[in-house]
Structure formats: C-alpha cells, structure tokens
Amino acid sequence: MVKQDLATKHQELIKWTRQMSALCHPDKIVWIDGSEEQKQRLTREAIATGEVIELDPEKLPGCLYHRTALNDVARTEHLTYICTKKQKDAGPNNNWMPPKEGYAKARHYFRGAMKGRTMYVIPFSMGPVGSPFSKIGVELTDSIYVVLNMLIMTRVGSTVLEKLGTRGDFTKGLHSKADLDVNKRLILHFPEDNAIWSVGSGYGGNVLLGKKCLALRIASFMAKEENWLAEHMLIMGVEDPSGYIGYVAAAFPSACGKTNLAMLIPPEGLKIKGYRIWTVGDDIAWMRIDTDGSLWAVNPESGFFGVAPGTNSKTNANAVATIQKNTIYTNVLLKKDGTVWWEGADGPVPSEGTDWTGKPWKPGMVDESGNHIRGAHPNSRFTAPLSQCPSITNRLEHHHGVPISAIIFGGRRATTAPLVYEATTWQHGVFIGATMASERTAAQYGKQGQIRRDPMAMLPFCGYNMADYFDHWLHMGKLMTRVPKIFHVNWFRTDEKGNFMWPGFSENLRVLEWIINRCRSKVDVVRTPIGYIPHLDDIDMTGLKLPKDTLKRLFEIKKQEWLAELEDQKKFFDTFGKALPKEIWAEYKALEKRIKGTCE
Ligand code: O2Y
Ligand code: MN
C-alpha cells in the first residue's frame, strides 16, 4: 500500500482513497492543503517537467501556460454518461450506461494508470466553505495542471476537510489522464452513488470535476431531491441610479457570451445615469428558496474558466483586467516575449509565436488544404480568480448569496425571437425555458443555421431525465411565495442581409434596465401572443444610434415563423413521451391557439 500522510480522520474518505490508490497504483499520494507554499512547490515541479511554462513574471505575474494533447481540446459530450440503475432516469437527453457496466469499463482504463505518477487528493468546496448552500467534493487526480486549476476554480484544502469532519457527505471524484487516448476516454456520473469517474482526458469540463460534473450534473440530481435549483446560469447585479441592486440569473447555451454579459460595463449613455454592474458568476448558479420565500443564488465556483478568443478591451475590458496575473492560459498562442495572444486579442497581431499545437506560427500561414492556421485554439481558455475581476460583487462569500429578481433565458436566433419578452406566469416562464434554442454557429458540429433545442441551457448538463427536470422547475414555482419574473432575450436577430440588428455587448444593459424596471413595476407592457414586450419608449436609447424602425423590427412577431417554431418545439417535446409534464403541453397548446388566432 502507498504510504500517505493522512490529513483527515474521515474513515470513509480514507478507505476510498486507499481503494482508488490500489486501483490506479500511484507512486505517491499528496493531499492538497490549499497553502500558498504547496501551490508554489507544485508550480515549480510542473514548470520543471514542462507540464506548464512560466510566463513573463513582469508582464504577467504568477501566470502559467499549458498545452493539451491535440485530441483533447473540449468537453466530449459523446463520451459523457449518466449511470443510473434505470435508463429512464437518465432520460433521452443523456447517454446512459448501467452503473455496473460503467464501473467495469472505466476500472479497466484506471487500472495501473497512475504508475510512475503522484495521486493528488483535492478536497474542495463548491460555494463558501461552511455555507449551508455549499457541497463538498474530493477529486483524486494524477494531473498537477488539474490541481492548479482547481485551486483557482474552487475553495480547496484543510478548511474543507475540517468542515467535512469525520462523517460529512462528499462527492467522490476520480480522475486520471491515463494515456490520453480518446478511444479510452469516459466521463461517467453516478448520481445515485454521488460519484464521478473521468479517465483519458486532461482538459477543462472533462477533468475539473467541480464544474460541469459536480456543480451541474450531480448537483442538478441533488437539487431535485432537496428542492433547489442547480443551473447553467450567470449571476449579476444591476445597480440603478438610486443604489438599488437588482440581481438576475441568466441561462444561455455555451459560447453565447455569458462571461461578457456577467462582466458588462455600462455604455456611456447609461453610465451617466449612474448604472453599475456587479459580477457574481459567469457560468453556474445554485438557487434556493430562503426563509423570506424568495429565490437566492450563489455562484459555487471561485474562478472563471473563460474562452480566450474574442476577449479584448472592447468586448470585455473587465475580463482583460482580470487575467493580468495569477492566470493559467491553455491552448493560446505563446509569444516570444513570454506573453500570450489569441485571435481577437488586444493589440497588433504578433509577427511570430508558437501556436497552441507547439509549432512555429506566423500570421497568414495556411495548411495543406489552404485553410488559415490559427495561433490559438477556438476553445482556448483562461483560468482566473473571481476576486481579480474589477466588477466582482462584495457578496461573494455571503452564505446565502444574492436575491434573484429575474431569470433570463436566451438563445442565438437570427429570426423568430424578439429582443426581449416576458413570461406571463412562472409556468409560462418554465415553458419558455423548456423551448430555448440556438442556431448552430460555424464552430459547432452539425449544419450551420440548424436549430438546436437546449432547454434552460442544460441539455448537456442535466444529470437526469429532462422531463422530470421541467416538473421540478414547475414544482419550485409552487414553493416560492415571491417568484422571480422570467424573461427571454435574443441579442442575435439579423436583417435580410444577415447583419445583426442589435449591437449587443454593453448595450444589452438597455434591455436589463427594462427587465429590472419590470421587476419593480415601474413600466407597463404590450401584450402579444408570445408574452409581454416593452413599449419602445421604455427602452432607454440615449447615446445609441439605432433607427427607431430597427428597434421596432427587433420586436416583430411573425406568424409564419412562430408556426414553424411550434412544429419544431413539438418534435422536441415528443422525444420525452408520456413523461413530459401536462403543464408544458398545456402551455404549448395555449401558445398554438394564440398564434393561430393572430393575423399574418
Ligand atoms: O470545453 C471545455 O472543456 C470547457 S466548456 C465550458 C467552460 C466554461 C464554462 N462553460 C463551458 C460550457 O461548455 O458551457
Ligand atoms: Mn458553461
């Protein structure tokens, strides 16, 4: 048995680490204590082995650079499974494997996988340590890169073990890079055992087990049992000129700009009124009903794992400020001067560098097929502490989080969905969330322009049958005495030439202002067949040159488009068979009737 300096008296945790060590055969076991000294030691070790490269300490202090294997650059949804005893509990929205088969298959890949390596034991808390809202996990991994990322993304170390005590519950996460073979890669979730097994990958959502695996897939399963919500949502506070802060939680499919919205800087026209934005989180919201009967949200993470390409001072100045120190850059371009670059970064395009694959790079290079060679991978990332964000809320460590006034759903739609509309009731809002959809962009697999249904932006992350998930949302509405209003936004509507009609980015605050005003009953609405839309004069357009007619067109509701939308919604809902809640069908029928009853 490998000797280890035990940092806990928790017998179940000790037994499990011994069992997993007996399976994976590491040479050494190291418990991560969360200290700066240990972090520095591990960083030096990773630099010495080449696992990470130290960036220029003057220009980017405390920053590291990492490249992943070429076949390991994004979450692998087709290798991600929910392993429940009954297939129907995983639902048509998930890949399913019986737990016995999952453990057996993965055990085969884990056996001896850590030979010659160290197994790190990372105790982590999702949410402030000790908050009744938080959940504890322990990740066993053979990757220092994972340890260094987890130290940023979660609260790690001795304080977590103290909180866990000798009998506390925790999620058991086992990860090994093994030999990074995509044919032996599996990301398995066992919600009934509170366990995650991830093997054969070294990157991102596949391996930072606190994030998508625990905080969304496992947590959504727990949340259903315990009457709360684990959601793929940003959380932000909108401070109005009076100093009142209205908090919203917003769900957008991956790569639809959640990080940019969460860190929004008000446009000049609204800044002079006194608006400020407070960032609470950019990816995950855990929301509970507090003693006041309303919904409160915490961000369970302590860092950002953001997409680098396209991030610059114009699109997201707060992100640029956040990532100037103590940041891990993955799969971006490495410059000769020990700094980094990506497509769409600030400043001039560098004249040379080393690309994300480790090859020399110059602008304008093309491959054998004549395709442009990128310096940074499109899914290259920065990992940075929340605390470094200039707009970060001062309620980050508040155990109950922030009170949510509005829930916003959004998609990327060239047509059909107006700039913003409001649900008439909680049930109608759940229906709007359940019908969320986005058009595929060039960066995604599948036909461009095709609609992908992504309810509540949770399709890849709901750890159980989505029909039951809709039911859970409906049920939550009944438990609250003060229910948030629900809205849908679409920043991506285009004109006949394919140009975006709405400028997006910081200008989106104009829509958020209307949403907060609605929550405070400050403005009235126009009733339409799909829900409530604003009176155009209630959207403050000060300082924005947008023709009145364009604003009007952003709110057009076209009968033919909505009839096609209804057809597509039905196809999606039919995949859930009888399990789909009757309330969702009732909302569907009511919408159909309202649309069919309108003129062209
Ligand atoms: O590709 C990955 O492994 C990262 S995916 C990701 C990272 C941060 C926030 N959201 C996502 C996502 O896919 O929704
Ligand atoms: Mn996400």
Whether pLDDT at 265 is above 70 = yes
Which of 415, 398, 392, 574 has its CA nearest to residue 493? 415
Average pLDDT of span 368-397: 96
Ligand 1 near 283 CB (within 6 A)? yes
Q: Say if ligand 1 is within 6 A of residue 75 CB.
A: yes
Q: Point out the ligand 1 atom lying closest to the alpha carbon of residue 457.
A: 14
What pLDDT is attached to residue 358? 98
- Average per-residue pLDDT in the chain? 96
Nearest residue (CA) to ligand 1, atom 14: 254
Banded pLDDT at 448 (limits 50, 70, 90): low
pLDDT of residue 599: 76
Specify the residue for token string 């057809």: 567
Residue bearing the CA closest to ligand 1, atom 1: 74
User: Do residues 162 and 239 touch, judged by C-beta distance below 8 A?
Assistant: no
Cβ–ligand 1 distance for 74 under 6 Å, the answer yes
Question: Is ligand 1 within 6 A of the CB of residue 255?
Answer: no
Torsion of CA 535, 541, 542, 548, to 10 degrees: -100
The CA distance from 136 to 221, in Å, is 15
Q: What is the pLDDT of residue 450?
A: 83
331 alpha carbon – ligand 1 mean position (Å): 14
Q: pLDDT digit string (tens) for 313-330?
A: 999 999 999 999 999 999
Question: Does the active-site annotation cover 213?
Answer: no
Judge whether residue 444 has pLDDT over 90: no
pLDDT at 446 over 60: no
Mutate to test the pocket of ligand 1, among 150, 212, 216, 235 (most ligand atoms within 8 A of CB): 212
Helix axes 426-434, 582-596, angle to 10 degrees: 90
Give tens-digit pLDDT for 502-515. Answer: 999 999 999 999 99
C-alpha to C-alpha distance for 113 and 121, rounded to whole angstroms:
16
Residues 6+ apart with CB under 8 A from 546: 502, 503
Q: What is the pTM of this model?
A: 0.97
Tell me, what DSSP letter sits at residue 149? H
Nearest ligand by distance to the CA of 301: 1
Inform me whether the pLDDT recorded for 445 exceeds 60: no
Distance 392 CA to ligand 1 centre (A): 21
**Closest residue by CA, ligand 1 atom 11:** 254
**Quick one: average pLDDT of 580-597?**
97
Q: How far separated are the first and last CA of the chain, in Å rounded?
A: 75
The tens digit of pLDDT for each residue in 104-147 reads 999 999 999 999 999 999 999 999 999 998 999 999 999 999 99
Q: CA 383 to CA 374: how far, in whole Å?
A: 21
Q: Are 253 and 412 in contact (CB under 8 A)?
A: yes
Active site residue: 24, 63, 256, 462, which one? 256
Is residue 246 classed exposed, middle or buried when 0-12, 13-18 and 19+ CB atoms within 10 A define those classes? buried
**Residue 544, ligand 1, Cβ within 6 A:** no
To test the pocket of ligand 1, the residue of 75, 258, 307, 436 to mutate (highest count of ligand atoms within 8 Å of its CB) is 75
Verify whether ligand 1 is closer than 6 Å to residue 454 (CB atom). no
Average pLDDT over residues 522-535: 98
How many angstroms separate the CA atoms of 285 and 401, rounded? 10
Q: How many residues does the chain have?
A: 600
What residue spans of 217-360 are helical by DSSP H? 219-226, 258-262, 268-271, 313-322
Residue 11's CB: how many other CB atoms inside 10 A?
A: 10
| Burial 483-511, CB ≥16 within 10 A → b, else e | bbbbbbbbbbbeeeeeeebbeebbbbbbb
> Is 198:271 a contact under the CB 8 Å cutoff?
no
- What per-residue confidence (pLDDT) applies to 441? 63
Please state, for a pLDDT cut of 90, what percent of the chain lies above it: 94
Q: Reduced to 3 states, what is the DSSP secondary structure of residue 10?
A: coil
> Do β-strands 360-361 and 80-82 pair in parallel, antiparallel, or remain unpaired?
unpaired
Which distant-in-sequence residues (6+ apart) come within 8 Å of 272 by Cβ?
none
For residue 264, what are the contacts with CB-CB under 8 A and spacing of at least 6? 236, 277, 391, 505, 506, 508, 509, 512
Q: What are phi and psi of 596, to 5 degrees?
A: -65, -25
What is the model's pLDDT at position 447? 58
φ and ψ of 307, to 5 deg? -75, 130
Percentage of the chain lying above the pLDDT 70 cut: 98
pLDDT over 60 (residue 280): yes
> Alpha helix (H) ranges present in 243-389?
258-262, 268-271, 313-322
Can you tell me which residue has the tokens 């229910």? Answer: 483
- Can you tell me the mean pLDDT for 220-243? 97
Contact (Cβ atoms closer than 8 angstroms) between residue 131 and residue 399: yes
In this prediction, residue 77 carries a pLDDT of: 94
| pLDDT average, residue stretch 557-586 | 97
Is the dihedral angle over the CA atoms 73, 75, 77, 80 positive or is it negative? positive
Residue 541: C-alpha distances to residues 103, 267, 343, 511 (Å): 57, 10, 31, 10
State if residue 305 touches ligand 1 by the CB under 6 angstroms criterion: yes
For residue 2, what pLDDT band results from cuts at 50, 70 and 90? confident
Which pLDDT does position 405 carry in this prediction? 98
- The reply to whether ligand 1 has any atom less than 6 angstroms from the CB of 205 is yes
7: CA distance to ligand 2 center in Å? 33
Q: Which atom of ligand 1 is nearest to the CA of 254?
A: 14
